[in-house]
Structure 1
Amino acid sequence: MEKLTFEYSATKSVSQRAYVGVVGSGDLEILLDPIEEKKAYVVIRTRFDGFQKVWKGLLDKFFEVNDIAAKIEINDFGATPGMVTMRLLQALEVSNDDKAQR
């Protein structure tokens, strides 16, 4: 099991917490919490070692477009890069939806 951490500059805030996904059978969960700082802090816990470059490339692309200030925890159980991107976008949508359940 590997734990990776990343930090990004941010200019946009998010409205509320978000929780999406499920850890298990090739998926992952993402927990997103708004923060006051103009930074994004990402912690990834993955069962696969040696994929830091893949994670960094995926997150670099995400934060180029979505420079959100948040604390993000990702618990991975073998999700594909496409699934990770989809879950990140889903968490962003939930965190900015005023009608979402809290």
Structure 2
Amino acid sequence: MSLHAGIETLDFSFEGHHVTGPFQAVLVGVVGSGNLEVMLEPGTPPVCHVHVATSAHGFRPIWQAVFDDFHARHALAGVRVSVNDMGATPAVVSLRLDQAVAALKAGLQP
């Protein structure tokens, strides 16, 4: 068994259909043991770019599945998603992503 030191970074890109328009950055969650934070920032349509910094190495297929599901539900375009993870479960990741989208949509309401 080999132990990995440091943070693993992963990047994913999706072509989205729901352009958000201008918005202020959104931050939800807290980086801590077994948790994570998610930040949404304006990007360039039609792409939704995802950057993950995680302490858990070797889980790229799981992250891919979580973001495939997220994109199927939201299909954001013109958004950069940053995730700072300290070992959160996939269910917590999905929850935080949905919270960030809810906060984004609330901020876009007149």
Q: Under a length normalisation based on structure 2, what TM-score does the superposition of the two structures give?
A: 0.85
Do 1:13 and 1:34's aligned partners in 2 also have CA atoms closer than 8 Å?
A: no
Please state if 1:68 is matched with 2:76: yes
Q: Classify the secondary structure of the residue corresponding to 2:94.
A: helix
Q: In the aligned structure 2, how far is the partner of 1:98 from the partner of 1:31?
A: 14
Please state if 1:96 is matched with 2:105: yes
Q: Which residue of 2 aligns with 1:53?
A: 61
Deviations 1:78-99 (A, max 9, x none): 1011100000000001111138
Q: Classify the secondary structure of the residue corresponding to 1:56.
A: helix
Shift of the alpha carbon at 1:60?
0.4
Do 1:11 and 1:68's aligned partners in 2 also have CA atoms closer than 8 Å?
A: yes
Shift of the alpha carbon at 1:48?
1.1
The answer for unaligned runs of 5 or more in structure 2 is: 1-6
Q: Classify the secondary structure of the residue corresponding to 2:9.
A: strand
Q: Which residue of 1 aligns with 2:4?
A: none
Superposed, 1:16-27 pairs within 5 Å as 16=23, 17-27=25-35
Please state if 1:4 is matched with 2:13: no
Across the aligned residues of Structure 1 and Structure 2, the Cα RMSD in angstroms comes to: 1.6
Do 2:12 and 2:51's aligned partners in 1 also have CA atoms closer than 8 Å?
A: yes
Q: Classify the secondary structure of the residue corresponding to 1:49.
A: coil
Using a 3 Å threshold, how does the CA distance of structure 1 residues 25 and 6 change in structure 2: closer, same or farther?
Answer: same
Report percent identity of matched pairs.
Answer: 33
The answer for unaligned runs of 5 or more in structure 1 is: none
Q: Which of 42, 64, 74 is equivalent to 1:34?
A: 42
Q: Under a length normalisation based on structure 1, what TM-score does the superposition of the two structures give?
A: 0.91
